Amino acid sequence: MITLTDSMKVGVPKIDAQHQELVDRLNAVTSMGAKAVSKEETQKTLNMLGDYIVKHFGDEEVLQKQSGYPKYEWHRGQHQIYIGEFQKLKREFDTNGISAKFTLDLNNSIVGWIVRHIKNVDVEFGKYYRSSRSA
């Protein structure tokens, strides 16, 4: 289970709210492995998570472009890599359903990546964004 800690707060209300929603959706998916949930229900939850990831990344990128964030292209590239990893994991689920490998991959690659990304990359953007707004 992921908790959005103070070290993961970006300081941009819209992004922090979206990160909380993202964490909530990730927690919903990861908890399904421990429950007797149908493949259809898990697939529906994964689809909702995937849609939200794309929406959130898009909103974040708009703010980056508007503020002239110098690392925009690199940051956008990181988002694209993450979306690719998520899609790969989703295809694995579509083929094999919930398995120990799926759960392990979900926790190691998807959950771990998003936590590291928020703590390191998004927090850095938040500092830039706030300073660009006060200048």
User: Would you say residue 1 lies in a domain?
Assistant: no
pLDDT for 83 equals 94
User: Would you say residue 87 lies in a domain?
Assistant: yes
User: Would you say residue 3 lies in a domain?
Assistant: no
User: Would you say residue 5 lies in a domain?
Assistant: no
User: Would you say residue 4 lies in a domain?
Assistant: no
Query: Which domain CATH number covers 118?
Result: 1.20.120.50
CB 117 within 8 A of CB 76: no
* Residue, of 134 and 57, whose pLDDT is higher: 57
| pLDDT tens readout for residues 2-52 | 899 999 999 999 999 999 999 998 888 877 766 667 788 888 888 988 999
User: Would you say residue 130 lies in a domain?
Assistant: yes
User: Would you say residue 122 lies in a domain?
Assistant: yes
Please name which of 83, 101, 103 lies closest in space to residue 42, comparing C-alpha atoms.
103
**pLDDT category, 74, cuts 50, 70, 90?**
very high
Number of structural domains in the chain: 1
- Residue 118's domain spans which residues? 10-31+38-134
Helices 123-134/39-67 angle, 10° precision: 40
| pLDDT tens readout for residues 95-126 | 988 777 887 888 888 788 888 999 999 999 99
Neighbours of 133 (CB within 10 A): 11
pLDDT for 63 equals 96
